[in-house]
Structures are given as structure tokens and as C-alpha cells.
A and B are shown apart, each in its own frame.
Chain A
Amino acid sequence: MNANPSVGLFVTCLVDLYRPNVGFASIALLEQAGCTVVVPETQTCCGQPAYNSGDSSSTRKLAQATIMAFESFDYVVAPSASCAGMLKHHYAELFEDDASWFERASTFADRVFELTSFLVDVMQVNLSSKPFDSSVTYHDSCSGLREMGIKTQPRSLLTSVDGVTLNEMEDTEVCCGFGGTFCVKFPDISERMVTDKAALAKQSGAAVLTGGDLGCLMNISGRIDRLDIPMRVYHVAEILAGMTNVSAIGAEQSAEQGSPQSPGVNAASIESKKL
């Protein structure tokens, strides 16, 4: 296996819009693992919103654009099991009537990975992370668990970080109620599900909630904040890359927040102070 593979980072629209820090953390981690990371400029969205709403033709267009932007890399990595799952498991079936695109999408699919499982299963990285002195509970996204086989990998990475204690939630395999457009189409049912999940997170006794999917994390943190539950929420990439000196998801904007001051500075916090 190539020790210095080229990786196209599929940054995901939520990270792009909401939390660039996760993108920079992903790059830092991939580079630490020895990858050369490129971020194709033409990427936009994996197409899941259209796909899950039954709009196959729009999805196909986005899929083709994504494949074309990324197929030249050894690997395609996303800091999201849900987006990675879309690229890996659903692109090919969009082209059942088009043999050449089906082939292209299938080849492409083999190279797609979610970030933490890529680091552990493919790169077998030994991370050297800055300490993160906190009890942490990990939220498993449904796509992570069921589409991408992600359960042990993020946990093994987290427990390798000095200072982290892992407090498991109960009922980790129960959905948090995000479900993409579901949470706004069926807000009452979503509210019930996310309330249950917030309670489980609180019951874990952890000070920090983390996970690999920003959609789930925004959903749960949104409910946690509405219920005044004092937990901080970070994407797992941020913890692993030692980039938690930005405000937690949904927290007041303050560069000086949270556990230990990281000795170095990182690109995202420089940029956010400038702007």
C-alpha cells in the first residue's frame, strides 16, 4: 500500500458552511497519517437531500459532478459517515441504466471512506494528539453504524488521546431524530427523538459530546442548548486534531474557551480572529 496516498477531502456542505474547523482538523489528521490532501474546488453537496426526497435526476447530476471532481485521487475521505455513505453506497445504484457511469461510480465507491475509519482501518495511524482533559461521550450516527461499519474506530482514536475518558451513552444504536429533512418535515416526532437522545447524553455524565456527523451533532446540541444542559459539543476530528480552542458547537463565540490551551495555533483560529 502506498504510504503517501493522495486524498481528496470531501468536506461536506455542513462543515463548509457551519464549521470550517472540522475541515482543517480533517486535513491535519490526514496529513499526520502521511496523506497528501487536496480539496477540489468544484465540490458542493453529495446529493443526499435530493436523493432522500425522491429527486433522482438532481441527485444523478450532483453524483456525476462529485465523481468527476474526485475520481483522480487514491482515496476520497469525508468527515461524515452520512455523506461518505451516500458516495460509497448509493451513487452506483443511481446509474443502473447507464453501464459506463455505473462502472465509474462503483470504482469510485471503493475509494470512499469516512474519516475515523480511514485513519484506523486503512492508514492504521498512531495519532499523536494534544491532550484533551475531559469525559467524553461518543454519538454513533445511524449511517456510521449501519452503512459504514463505524463503531470501534473513533473510540479507539479518542481513547488514545491523553486525558480523555469515554463514558458510553445507553441506547447508542437509537436514532437522534435528525434524518436530514425529517427533522423539519416531522418536527414533533424529531423533537421527541432528540429529547430522548439529549437525556441519554446527559445521563452518561460526560462533559463533552462528540461524534462523526455534524448534522446529528447540530441536532443534539441544539436540543441540549434549548434544555440548558451544560454539555459542550465538538466534532470528533476537532478533538483528535487538538483543535478545540474554538467555541463548541452552538456556544458563544469566544476563542479562549474550553479545556487546555493548545500550545500551537491553527489555521482556523487565525482566520476566524482576522475576520
Chain B
Amino acid sequence: MNIWVTGIGVASSIGLNVEESLASFKKGKRGLGEIKILDTLHRSEFKAGEINLTNQQLMDLLDIPADQYRYHTRTALLGMIAARDACLDAGILRYDGLLKDDGISTALVSATTTGGMDKTECDYASGNHGSGYIQTHPCGDSTDKIAAYLGLHGYRTTLSTACSSGANAIIHAARLIRHGKADRVIAGGVDALSKFTLNGFNSLMILDKDFCKPFDRNRKGLNLGEGAGFIVLESEQLVRSRGSRKYCRLSGTANTNDAYHQTASSPDGEAAFGAMTRALEMSGIEAGEIDYINVHGTGTENNDASEGAALVRVFGKKVPPFSSTKSFTGHALGAAAGLEAVFSVLAIRDGLVLPSLGFHEPMEDLGISPSTEMKEGMPIGHVLSNSFGFGGNNSSLIFSKQ
């Protein structure tokens, strides 16, 4: 069964919507910088892709009354913005912002690693245990908040598999459609910056104090980011009956496990190789038909070496043009795969090869280089998007124009 992408929505440090994000890519303008909103002692020490709006300002954008503040984590708010935009783009919202009452079974599959931690870490620290953070802490809360905001009463669930979460949300969403559990699914992921993750990654010593350099020989680590990215998926049948605008098909998906180490990836990128290969098998296309790869490319020594090795194993000498958009947005964890799914769809829509910033010299043994220039008007028929996370969790998605 063909599954089509019919709507896209994003919010990240490079733009609060799709068009702003595209403009940032065209201008080569990173969203990375000093941390201004999150109250951390490390604010000047690390670059992060923080959205330059307070929670109050986000709530204003969403028309949420001030007395509802306590019920909304930053994670939920970011998710609401992107999910709403994806639904608007798909033409499935009413004038009042709620989902159209069109009798079409619509589900929501989101993803997050931090859940409500942005609120928990503040209120717990200040002993404000009656603030409601106990209710907003679980991963499922931001998903429920997005569903409520859209007036979605049906099936919703949340994936939480570290950095591959958003891709797994899309995989589960496609499965729901193939099984007729829903005709339409809003799928993606969301995460907000938090002291918990900033300090967590710092304790692992994989943060770059400067701008990250994905796939560069002298890369030093990742920059964290935050945001949300959602795509609307519809069955072939629904697309035909509704006359939905078709961006592209979700033609291949795969999830594999490295079973190598809790956080590090295997040197030969075994699970990454497996994920890409299986996604290609499912899509029915040859490796040589991939026109652009949005790599996981965090800029850590380990990921880029492992992913690079896997790319060479899959594509041989002819690795297609690839880039890490994390060089623009930072690594938004649970949101990453959702953001990058949207960017992959844009690559198909506008014939783009998105650029990778911070790259100067290729890794010694691999000799592959990301595309550093933005290219437009290219014939982009198939895009591969990789997301690899802690716990050896590796996911690949393939989007196809036809």
C-alpha cells in the first residue's frame, strides 16, 4: 500500500515554520548560538539550537490563556506549534484550529526523550511539588496535549528510543495505516532543551563548545538543539478520495539494533548498514537511485565514523550527496528525526540538496565529504534520512517523489 506525505510542519532554532527554515538553509544561517532562555550555568560555554522564545511567548503564539501555563511544558508547546502547522499544511484543520470533522480516522504518533523534564527539573528543584509537574513529566503528556490542542480524540502514542525516536514514530504510524487502524496519522517528534540533557551530554564529553563539524576530520562533538517536526501521512485511498496534495511517498522504513554498547555505535556501523539496506529493500529501489541523504551526522567522533563506514558499505564509491542539517539546528534528540523528515520532504518538493556547515576536511580513512553548498532545482526522486540513537537504536526512512 502506498503511504503519502500530505503535510509538513516544523519549529526549530532555524525557523518557526517551513518557509523560515528553508530561508535559513538558503542563507547558510545557523540556529546555533549562546543559550539565552534555559537557565543553565553552562549558557556561555556551549552552542545550542535554542528557539529564542520564552514559554510565555510560545503560549501567546498558540493563543493559550496565561492561566493554563502550569499545564504546559515547553516540549508540549513546541509540539503543538509544529503539529498544528503540519495539519494546516495538509488542509485538515477547521477555521477554529481543530481537526475537521470529516469522519476520517486520524491518529497521532509522537516521540520525545525528555518529555516534561524542562518543567520537572525547575519545579522539583524549587520544591514546588504541587505545580502539576508530576502530571506533565511522562513522555505521553506532550502527545496528549498536542492531541487536545488539535481536537484529536483518537489513538495517540509516543515513542521514546533516544535519537531515533521520531523515525520510529513514523514507522509505527505507517504500520497503523497499512493495518487500517487509522487512515491518516500525524507523526513526528518533539524535545525541548533542558539542564538534564545538556548536563547529561556534557558528562559524556561529547558536546562541542564551538559549532559542530559533522563528518569533519577534526569534529569534536555535537551541539544540542530543540524543536518539533511532524508530517501528515495518508493512505493511498484517502489521498485519492480527499484529493490531498501529495508531497511524496514514505517508500521505505527500517529499524535495527547494534547490540554493541549502550551508547557507542559499532565501528563498522553494522546496525546503520542494516537499517539503510532494509529500508532500500522495502522501498524496492537500488542504492544508486538515492539522490540525497540527510545523515544523522551529529558531529561526534563515534557517530560520524560509524555512519560514514556504513554509508561506504551501502553505496560503495558512489555515496550520493549528503548533509547533516544538525549543523544548522543542532541535535534536537526526540525531534531530530521529525525535523529531518520534513527537510527530506522539502528536498523532494523543491529539488534540493541541503547544505552541511562546519565541514572542512574529510575523515582520513573514508574520504567522503558532505555537500557544503545549497543546491536547488536538482532532480531529487528519492531521499534517505538516517537517525541513530543510544541503546543501539538505528532507523532509516526513505521518501520517494512518485
B is bound to A: no
Residue ranges of B at the interface with A (Cβ–Cβ < 8 Å): none
